[in-house]
């Protein structure tokens, strides 16, 4: 016989989202940082290592979110959805970062000493790139987390096997696990051991 096990505690998933976001952001930044370091170290003029890291990083973020999601005691999610969400988030975050970077360097007063500077005096080549990189990391991480959450499903409660030796036969002939019968009050469990006078007397007392 199989009975449902006790439901898992909700507190176990309280900080799961923060762990997924933090570790995915760390994995994305580490992947991009490794590609940038290789590009600068080996003087890669074509930026092949950096470009490859940009392409691979969303997959890393999606797999990290999916892997950490397996720690959940309540839900299970699909890795494919997390990876797809990471790529969509990377695209959206990069575009948003670029727009914010151009907006930041195009506002304020003009610095006439630098031709590449915007009205605010900021570098209109570096600021959008930094904004795009930050937006890429945050967008990739957020997209992976959203994709996993959209695909997650509740885990089914595990069933606990109960051996036939642990089954007790009740008065109506049905079998129940011994631990379930122990939940009943002691007065009910020992009702068969009492004499009829002990049971009938309170009934007459209530009638009078």
Query: Do 167 and 142 share a domain, yes or no?
Result: no
Spatial separation of the C-alpha atoms in residues 64 and 141, rounded to whole Å: 10
Query: Do 148 and 180 share a domain, yes or no?
Result: no
Partners of 175 in beta bridges? 169
Query: Do 34 and 108 share a domain, yes or no?
Result: yes
Residue-range definition of the domain harbouring residue 178? 163-207
Helix (H), strand (E) counts: the chain: 7, 6
Domain limit, last residue, from 117, 135, 154:
154
Query: Do 11 and 88 share a domain, yes or no?
Result: yes
- Domains held by the chain: number: 2
User: What's the chain's Rg over C-alpha atoms?
Assistant: 32
Give the start-end residues of each E strand in the chain. Answer: 2-4, 75-76, 153-154, 159-161, 167-169, 175-177
143 burial via Cβ count (<10 Å: 0-12, 13-18, 19+): buried
Query: Do 84 and 20 share a domain, yes or no?
Result: yes
Query: Do 184 and 116 share a domain, yes or no?
Result: no
Terminal alpha carbon distance of the chain: 47
Q: Where are the alpha helices (DSSP H) in 42-170?
A: 48-69, 79-105, 126-151
pLDDT in single tens digits along all 208 residues of the chain: 554 444 444 445 678 999 999 999 999 999 999 998 998 888 877 788 899 999 999 999 999 999 999 999 899 999 999 999 999 999 999 999 999 999 988 875 455 555 555 544 456 878 899 999 999 999 999 999 999 999 999 987 655 554 544 545 555 555 555 544 444 444 444 444 554 544 444 444 444 3
On whether the CB atoms of residues 51 and 35 are closer than 8 A, the answer is: yes
Query: Do 64 and 115 share a domain, yes or no?
Result: yes
Query: Do 191 and 135 share a domain, yes or no?
Result: no
The pLDDT value recorded for residue 192 is 47
Query: Do 108 and 129 share a domain, yes or no?
Result: yes
* Cut 0.75: pTM above it: no
* Residue corresponding to tokens 């002939």: 173
Q: Please list the helix, strand and coil fractions of the chain in percent, rounded to the nearest 5, in that order.
A: 65, 10, 30
* Residue corresponding to tokens 């199989």: 2
Query: Do 131 and 178 share a domain, yes or no?
Result: no
Residue pLDDT, tens place only, 119-142? 444 568 788 999 999 999 999 999
Residue pLDDT, tens place only, 139-156? 999 999 999 999 999 987
The pLDDT value recorded for residue 136 is 97
Spatial separation of the C-alpha atoms in residues 71 and 17, rounded to whole Å: 11
């Amino acid at each position: 016989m199989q009975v449902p096990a006790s439901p898992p505690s909700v507190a176990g998933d309280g900080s799961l989202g923060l762990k997924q976001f933090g570790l995915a952001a760390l994995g994305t930044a580490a992947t991009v940082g490794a590609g940038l370091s290789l590009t600068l170290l080996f003087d890669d003029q074509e930026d092949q290592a950096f470009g490859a890291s940009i392409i691979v990083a969303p997959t890393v973020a999606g797999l990290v979110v999916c892997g950490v999601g397996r720690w959940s005691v309540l839900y299970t999610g699909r890795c494919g959805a997390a990876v797809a969400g990471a790529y969509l988030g990377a695209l959206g975050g990069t575009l948003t970062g670029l727009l914010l970077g151009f907006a930041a360097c195009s506002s304020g007063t003009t610095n006439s000493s630098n031709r590449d500077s915007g009205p605010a005096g900021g570098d209109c080549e570096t600021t959008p790139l930094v904004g795009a990189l930050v937006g890429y990391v945050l967008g990739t991480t957020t997209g992976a987390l959203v994709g996993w959450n959209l695909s997650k499903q509740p885990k089914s409660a595990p069933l606990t096997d109960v051996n036939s030796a642990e089954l007790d036969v009740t008065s109506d002939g049905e079998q129940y696990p011994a631990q379930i019968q122990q939940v009943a009050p002691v007065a009910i469990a020992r009702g068969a051991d009492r004499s009829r006078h002990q049971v009938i007397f309170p009934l007459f007392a209530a009638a009078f």
